[in-house]
Homo-oligomer: A and B are copies of this chain.
Amino acid sequence: MATVDPSLVAHLPLFAGFSADEFGEILREARSARFAKNNAVFQQGEEAHSFYVLQHGHVRASKTTPTGEQVVVRYVASGETFGVAMAIGLQRYPATATAVDDSVVLAWPSASWPRLVEKFPALATNTLQTVGSLLQETHTRVVEMSTQQVEQRVAHALLRLAKQSGRKVEHGVEIDFPISRQDVAQMTGTTLHTVSRILSGWEQRGLVESGRQRIVLREPHKLFVLAETVPGDSEPPVKP
C-alpha cells in the first residue's frame, strides 16, 4: 500500500484550512485503492469500515428497496468525500457505492475518525459543509419530484450532472462517465422507457446528442429554459 503524494489532495474540501504538516499526518492513515469499472466500493448494509475521498473516476451511490427497486442517491465526482457513515452515527452504509468508471479512492478506517476529529476539529466542520450541501441538493430533488413533471426533472438532473461532471466537447457538454437511461430514470423517479422517449424527443429538437451510455448536452441553455418552463405556460388563454 503506497503512501500518497500530499500535493495531489491538498486542495480537497475535506482538508480546507490544514497546514502541510497536518494533512501529511492525516494522509498517513489513509490507503489508496483502485476499483475497476462496475465494481462496488462498498455495499448497502455492510459494516462501515472506511470513509473515502474519490481521487479519480466516478462513483454512483444507490439505495435498493426491500422490493428490489434501485434509486440513485448521488454521483460522486473526483475530490468529493463519500461513505462518511460513521461520522453521521451509522454503523452500516446506507447505500451501495459502485465505480462507474475505473476509479481511485483514498480510504481511511472509520475507526480512526473519532481520533482524527479530536485532533483536527476542522475535519468535522468541513464534513458538516459537505453533508449540508448534500442535504440541500436532496431537498431540491424532493421539491422537484413534488412539483415538476418528468421532463423537467430529467432536464434538471442532466444539467446538474453536466455542471458537476461535464466535459466540453466539440458540440456541447458531455457527461463525463458512462450513464444509461436506466441510471437517469433512477435519479428522477421515472422509468427507462420514459427517459428514452424524452431523450429521443430532445435529440430531434437538437437539444442533446446521446447514445449508449452517453449523453451530450448540445444546447444547455435551451435545456435550462425547458427545465424552468411550466408546461402549458406557452399559450395563455385568449379572452373572447
CB within 8 Å of B: which residues of A? Answer: 63, 65-67, 69, 71, 73, 84, 87-90, 94-95, 117-118, 121, 124-125, 127-129, 131-136, 138-139, 141-143, 145-147, 186, 189, 228, 230
15 further A-B contacts with Cβ under 8 Å, apart from A128-B128, A131-B135, are: A65-B143, A71-B146, A71-B147, A87-B132, A88-B128, A89-B129, A90-B136, A117-B121, A124-B125, A124-B128, A138-B142, A141-B142, A142-B145, A145-B145, A145-B189
| A128 CB contacts on chain B under 8 angstroms | 87-88, 124, 127-128, 131
11 contacts between A and B (CB under 8 A): A63-B143, A88-B128, A88-B129, A88-B135, A89-B129, A89-B132, A118-B121, A128-B128, A134-B135, A138-B139, A147-B189
Closest to A74 in B: B139
- Beyond A63-B139, A67-B230, A135-B138, whether A186 also contacts B89 by CB under 8 A is no
| A89 CB contacts on chain B under 8 angstroms | 129, 132-133
Chain A: interface secondary structure? Answer: helix
Which of B67, B121, B129, B134 makes the CB contact (< 8 A) with A121? B121
Rounded to whole Å, the gap between the CB of A195 and the closest CB of chain B is 13
Rounded to whole Å, the gap between the CB of A40 and the closest CB of chain B is 18
| A63 CB contacts on chain B under 8 angstroms | 139, 143
Q: Could you tell me the distance between the alpha carbons of A3 and B43 in the complex, rounded to whole angstroms?
A: 49
Whether B147 lies near A88 (C-beta < 8 A) is no
Q: Could you tell me the distance between the alpha carbons of A141 and B127 in the complex, rounded to whole angstroms?
A: 23
Q: Could you tell me the distance between the alpha carbons of A141 and B136 in the complex, rounded to whole angstroms?
A: 14
